[in-house]
Structure formats: structure tokens, C-alpha cells
Amino acid sequence: MKLMLLFICFSLSALQAQNIQWMTLAEAREAQKKVPKKIFMDVYTDWCGPCKLLDKNTFQNPDVSRYISEHYYAVKFNAEGQEEINFFDQTFTNPNYDPNRKGRNATHQFTQFLGVKGYPTMVFFSENGDPIMPLVGYQKPRQIELFLKMIKQGDYQVFSKPEDFENYRKNFVPKFRG
């Protein structure tokens, strides 16, 4: 019985270790002060089908969740939600948010500030909190791997023309499963 209980506890902790621990932007910015890491923000909406697929197929992938958890602070942000965001001495809200609406709602001011035009969009931020780049659309594990590693390693900083990224992409060898 003890052995079975130990096995169940180990299995549950192993499963939990593979889940991304999402936080708010404020929590991520606070964590950056103690241990500098880049931020990976998933900008989603409740009605977005590709956003749900990203959660189910990509963020649940063990390689993706492990990599994000090890190298980034992961933030979930509802692009049409009512969370108040304080970012570089500015406060962003969603004054037109309607809690009685089902489906699409008003766009949050922070969504507009980030220039998000479609969902899902993943936004990468530097260790100082500066936005680096958005990644728009559903990404499979092997597709998102290129961006996770390129941003984490800082490889994007040496691109001076579009061909540089294309060459990087052609030479990238994905290792994630799925």
C-alpha cells in the first residue's frame, strides 16, 4: 500500500512538473527583480478556438512546458479581460468591458498598447520588461520551439535583414516532440 501511495504521489508531481505555472504580468515583473528571465506572454480570448488548441496541444506538450517553465516567466493575459495592468508607470484597463456579454468583448488597453491584432498572440519580453516581439497565430510544438530558443538565446539580436531570419529558420533543427 505504501509503495502504491508513493507511486501515485510521484506520478502526480511528475505531471505537475510538466504544467506551465502561469502568473500575472505583475508577478512576473516582480520575479524578474529577483531572478532575471525573459517573459513569455500568451495573449488570448475566451472565444478563440486556436487559443484553446494552443493550450491543449502546444502548452501541454512536455517539451514546450518544460522549456517555458525553465527559461521564462509565463504570463496568461486575457486580451478582452478586466485585469488592471501597471506597466512602466502606465495603468491599462478595459473601460468598455461588459461582464454580461457572452463571446467577444471590448479590447483591453494593454492589448492595444502591445499592438496585438489577432489571437492567439504570444509576446516575448526582455529581462528588463521591454517587449521584444509578438508571435501571432497557433503554433505547434516544433514551430514554437524555434521562437522560444531564438528569443531565449538572444539570436534575434543579430538579425539585420529579413534574410537573416530566413537563414536561421532554414538551419534550425527542432528537437521538441510533436
pLDDT beneath 70, residues of the chain: 1-18
pLDDT score for 112: 97
End-to-end CA distance of the chain: 36
Whether 116 and 45 have beta carbons less than 8 Å apart is answered as: no
- CA of residue 17 relative to chain centroid, distance: 17
State the pLDDT at residue 178: 81
Cα 69 from chain centre: 10
Q: Which H helix or E strand runs over 156?
A: none
Q: pLDDT digits over 21-71, tens only?
A: 999 999 999 999 999 999 999 999 999 999 999 999 999 999 999 999 999
Pairing of strands 85-87, 121-125: unpaired
* Assigned superfamily of 19-171: Glutaredoxin (3.40.30.10)
Q: Is 72 helix (H, G, I), strand (E, B) or coil?
A: strand
Q: How far apart (Å, rounded) are the C-alpha atoms in residues 107 and 110?
A: 8
Q: How do strand 38-44 and strand 121-125 relate by DSSP bridges? A: antiparallel
Question: What is residue 18's predicted lDDT score, i.e. its pLDDT?
Answer: 65
Grid cell in block for residue 45:
480570448
